[in-house]
Amino acid sequence: MATRDRFHHGDLRDAAIRAALTLVDRDGPEALGLRAVAQAAGVNHRALYRHFADKDALAVAVAAIGFDRLADRVAGALAGVPDTADRTRPLLAAYVAFAFAEPGLYALMFGMRGQAFLDDPVLAPAVAKVTDLAADAFRRPGDPPGFSPALRDRVMLAWGTAHGLIDLWRRGALRARGAGEAQAYITGLLELSP
């Protein structure tokens, strides 16, 4: 058996995810494939099946990393903002900044099937970090404990608006001189929202 066909990698799962992140960053989510990731990690693609059932399982693992990164960015943006201040604007600005900083990863994250956001054992906890931060930012005095329908609707409206504007930019329907101008325009529009 050729050296490449044998498993000689210390932490293949981590190496594969790092390689996948690089591919997605460089070439977009369409570039993600077990063979491409295996080649980048320096192993035979069959070795990846020890850690990922298929390409979708690898994509979910990469998307979970993306949601962890998004949660870190949002938490950082909210770190110095008092609970009594408007916390929605820095949250939304961080969300938009992430989408522009990591467009390939952002596209992969939001290309996941909807139910995976709620029940996938790898993806759902990472998504929950972001939604919990959003719930805290959008919570109003007098809201009942937990994620009430009214709070959920405020979060979904803001998330949908931000995502829609970002998608318009990605598809070329939002005119701007460049990514920086588009990011500023989208962030400004979101600040107009109640």
For residue 6, the model assigns a pLDDT of 42
Q: Which fold has domain 1-52?
A: Arc Repressor Mutant, subunit A (1.10.10)
pLDDT tens digits along 112-134: 887 888 899 999 999 999 999 99
**Long-range contacts formed by 76-85: CB under 8 A, 24+ apart:** 78/133, 78/136, 78/137
Domain ranges of the chain: 1-52, 54-192
CB atoms within 10 A of CB 185: 16
Q: Report residue 21 as tokens.
A: 């992140």
- Per-residue confidence band for 3, with pLDDT thresholds at 50, 70 and 90: very low
| Domain 54-192 class, CATH top level | mainly alpha
Evaluate whether 38 touches 71 at the Cβ level (below 8 Å). Answer: no
Position 9 pLDDT exceeds 60: no
The number of C-alpha atoms within 13 Å of 179 and in the hemisphere containing its C-beta is 9
| Alpha carbon distance 80, 100 (integer Å) | 23
Structure tokens given for 90: 């820095």
pLDDT value of position 72 = 98
Mean pLDDT computed over every residue of the chain: 89
pTM across the whole model: 0.89
Residues in Cβ contact with 164 at an 8 Å cutoff, skipping those fewer than 6 apart: none
Q: State the pLDDT at residue 13.
A: 86
pLDDT above 70 covers a percentage of the chain that reads: 94
Cβ contact 20:62 at 8 Å = yes
